[in-house]
């Protein structure tokens, strides 16, 4: 629970959007615009093999034939990004090699982000820093390996040595292409094909960096893996690509955090995340998304058009998505699971908050193919200010999905009378032994509970925050500890000013 002082402090931070700083470092840009040359430029910049360039070009050619989707439920609509006005590549000129060499501006950025100094060393790849960083991050208990992606380029990855001992590959996708080309070639686009949808196809053509994770057979990843994304430069889009493969019997938990500076114009974030869980493997993917949401008139903010999909490839595999979405002007995101292996399991836990004039159309898709597959969806929507929050989800039981089961619960609360909460589930059942259950409710924040709190001297704003946290508890319980604390604070901050 966040105390009043903390809320006050965070609130103060929020007023200036805590993460809304711009790091002034020299960057290398691709000229704005998109054509085959730009795709070649990106590929060449990254020293990619021929097959990847061909794949990018195939995606680009396909993208040119596609139309931007307009079926999302966005009551305020939004100005379509000008795809020729965006720069598709922005990288810090020099890749940092040691703490001394690292650009002070980047270090300053880490400070502002609240990354501990010890960890900064790790991020900067200073030798011998790993152990102390572990101490710095929660007394040896919760170790987190971080891959930081700054605009288009992975800046640094920590703990690589320790992970290597277990045979775990955790690096930027560019490195993976160089060092583990066969793995990347085998899995890239296997879950989200290059032709999947408008934004995923665009991503396939121009993706710049992202994280790559491979957990070998039978290995339980000893620490949380984490990627931190930040859009920094103006007029750029961020198109990262994440690929996580859990081989037979392995387990991994992965965290993703996002921020962006405050800018008047809208910036595009079109990422693709692919998860592959083999037999008996478990992947847990958690996101805290706090991109800049724009101001209260709806000016600025990030367009978050993300394709995330996992496949439970083998029997008894398990994928779990947890997301806390509080940022972005427009969110368009459906982390999905294809339950292909028999007895596989998938979960989706989501908290989506819209305040100001934010619009979110988010949910999940669960495609049941294998027998005895189960999926569980818990979605909590919070609408405040003039925000519009939409849950959109698909549960599909294919013909072969004997005894498949789904349970879905979507709850929304409304705070204030100028916001909206919408629920659009799609349930498609083609097997008589499969069962799908969906429940949803939309209510106002409970007045009697609010009264109970305020009657006991809790400020109204704190009371709302308390109730909202309680409302979201089912989802927060799924988050790793460090993230759960952050998520709590984030909600309190994002709700500031929504009462009264």
Partner 1 sequence: MTQATAESTTRFADAHAAVLARADAAGTGALNDTRRAAFDAFTAQSIPTLKHEDWRYTDLRELNKTDYAPAEPNTDVTADDIAPFLIPNLDTHLIVFVDGHWREDLSAIDEHPEGTAIGTLAQAYAKGCTGITDYLGKQVDLETDAMSALNTALMEDGAAIYLKPGKTIDKPIHVLSVATAKAAGTMTHPRNLIVAGEDASVTVLEHYVTLGGENYFNNAVTELFAADRAEVHHYLLEREAESAVNISTLEIHQGEKSDVHSHTVLLGGKLVRNNVRPTMAGEDGHCLINGLFVGHGDQTLDNAMRVEHNAPNCRSRQFYKGIMSDKSHGVFTGRIVVAEEGQQTDAIQSNRNMLLSDDARMNARPQLEIYADDVRCTHGATTGQVDPEAVFYFRARGLPEDVARAMLIYAFAAEGFDRMQLVPVRALLANEMIAKLPMANKLSAEFNEEIKQRLYRI
CA distance 244 to 485: 25
The nearest distance, CB 192 to partner 1, in angstroms, is 22
- Which of residues 236 and 364 has its CB atom nearest to partner 1 in the complex? 364
The nearest distance, CB 275 to partner 1, in angstroms, is 27
Give helix 198-206 / helix 50-64 axis angle, nearest 10°.
150
Burial (CB < 10 A; 0-12, 13-18, 19+), residue 396, is buried
CA-to-CA separations, 359 to 20, 391, 498, in angstroms, rounded: 20, 11, 16
Backbone φ, ψ for residue 303 (5° rounding): -95, 115
Of 380, 377, 372, 370, whose CA–CA distance to 394 is shortest?
377
Cβ neighbours of residue 159 closer than 8 Å, sequence gap 6 or more: 122, 130, 133, 143, 145, 146, 170, 223
CA distance 445 to 469: 12
The nearest distance, CB 139 to partner 1, in angstroms, is 44
- Which of residues 287 and 412 has its CB atom nearest to partner 1 in the complex? 412
- Which of residues 120 and 336 has its CB atom nearest to partner 1 in the complex? 336
The nearest distance, CB 370 to partner 1, in angstroms, is 17
Radius of gyration of the chain (CA): 22
The nearest distance, CB 329 to partner 1, in angstroms, is 20
Of 476, 499, 498, 494, whose CA–CA distance to 13 is shortest?
494
The nearest distance, CB 73 to partner 1, in angstroms, is 8
Q: Which helix (H) or strand (E) holds 273?
A: strand 272-277
The nearest distance, CB 383 to partner 1, in angstroms, is 8
Question: How many helices (H) does the chain have, and how many strands (E)?
Answer: 13, 25
- Which of residues 265 and 439 has its CB atom nearest to partner 1 in the complex? 439
The nearest distance, CB 415 to partner 1, in angstroms, is 7
Q: What is the rounded (10 degree) CA torsion for 78, 80, 85, 90?
A: 70
Footprint of partner 1 (CB under 8 A):
71, 73, 397, 399, 412, 414-444
The nearest distance, CB 424 to partner 1, in angstroms, is 5
- Which of residues 269 and 392 has its CB atom nearest to partner 1 in the complex? 392
- Which of residues 251 and 442 has its CB atom nearest to partner 1 in the complex? 442
- Which of residues 116 and 416 has its CB atom nearest to partner 1 in the complex? 416
Cβ atoms within 10 Å of 195's Cβ, excluding its own: 15
- Which of residues 308 and 392 has its CB atom nearest to partner 1 in the complex? 392
Long-range contacts of 46-55 (CB under 8 A, 24+ apart): 46/174, 46/177, 46/208, 46/209, 47/178, 48/174, 48/177, 49/177, 49/181, 51/185, 52/177, 52/184, 52/185, 52/188, 55/188, 55/189, 55/194, 55/204
- Which of residues 196 and 386 has its CB atom nearest to partner 1 in the complex? 386
- Length of the chain (residues): 500
Long-range contacts of 97-103 (CB under 8 A, 24+ apart): 97/124, 97/125, 98/124, 98/125, 98/126, 99/124, 99/126, 103/25
The nearest distance, CB 449 to partner 1, in angstroms, is 15
Residue whose token pair is 């999926």: 375
- Which of residues 134 and 414 has its CB atom nearest to partner 1 in the complex? 414
């Amino acid at each position: 629970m966040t105390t009043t002082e903390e809320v006050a402090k965070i609130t103060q931070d929020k007023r200036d959007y805590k993460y809304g700083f711009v790091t002034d470092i020299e960057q290398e840009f691709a000229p704005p615009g998109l054509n085959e040359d730009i795709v070649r430029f990106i590929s060449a910049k990254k020293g990619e093999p021929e097959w990847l360039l061909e794949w990018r070009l195939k995606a680009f050619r396909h993208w040119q034939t596609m139309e931007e989707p307009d079926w999302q439920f966005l009551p305020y609509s939004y100005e379509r990004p000008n795809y020729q006005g965006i720069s598709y590549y922005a990288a810090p000129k020099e890749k940092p090699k040691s703490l001394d060499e690292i650009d002070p501006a980047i270090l300053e950025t880490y400070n502002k982000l609240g990354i501990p100094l010890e960890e900064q060393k790790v991020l900067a790849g200073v030798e011998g820093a790993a152990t102390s960083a572990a101490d710095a991050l929660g007394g040896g208990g919760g170790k987190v390996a971080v891959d930081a992606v700054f605009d288009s380029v992975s800046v640094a990855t920590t703990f690589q040595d320790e992970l290597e001992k277990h045979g775990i590959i955790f690096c930027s996708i560019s490195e993976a292409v160089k060092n583990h080309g066969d793995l990347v070639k085998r899995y890239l686009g296997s879950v989200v094909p290059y032709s999947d949808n408008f934004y995923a196809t665009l991503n396939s053509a121009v993706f710049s960096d992202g994280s790559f994770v491979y957990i070998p057979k039978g290995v339980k990843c000893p620490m949380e893996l984490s990627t931190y994304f930040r859009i920094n430069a103006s007029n750029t889009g961020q198109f990262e690509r994440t690929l996580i493969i859990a081989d037979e019997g392995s387990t991994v938990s992965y965290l993703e955090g996002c921020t962006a500076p405050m800018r008047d114009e809208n910036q595009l974030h079109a990422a693709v995340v692919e998860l592959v869980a083999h037999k008996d493997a478990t992947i847990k993917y958690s996101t805290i998304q706090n991109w800049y949401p724009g101001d209260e008139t709806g000016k600025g903010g990030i367009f978050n058009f993300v394709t995330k999909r996992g496949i439970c490839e083998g029997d008894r595999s398990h994928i779990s998505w947890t997301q806390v979405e509080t940022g972005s002007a427009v969110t368009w995101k459906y982390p999905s699971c294809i339950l292909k292996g028999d007895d596989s399991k998938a979960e989706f836990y989501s908290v989506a908050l819209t305040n100001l004039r934010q619009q979110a159309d988010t949910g999940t898709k669960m495609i049941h193919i294998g027998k005895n597959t189960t999926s569980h969806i818990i979605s909590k929507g919070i609408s405040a200010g003039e925000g519009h929050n939409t849950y959109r989800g698909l549960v599909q039981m294919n013909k072969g999905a004997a005894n498949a089961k789904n349970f879905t619960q979507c709850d929304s609360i409304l705070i204030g009378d100028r916001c909206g909460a919408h629920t659009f589930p799609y349930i498609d059942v083609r097997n008589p032994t499969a069962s799908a259950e969906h429940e949803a409710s939309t209510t106002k924040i409970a007045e009697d509970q609010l009264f109970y709190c305020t009657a006991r001297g809790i400020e109204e704003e704190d009371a709302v925050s308390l109730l909202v946290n309680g409302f979201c508890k089912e989802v927060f319980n799924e988050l790793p500890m460090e993230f759960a604390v952050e998520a709590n604070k984030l909600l309190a901050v994002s709700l500031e000013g929504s009462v009264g």
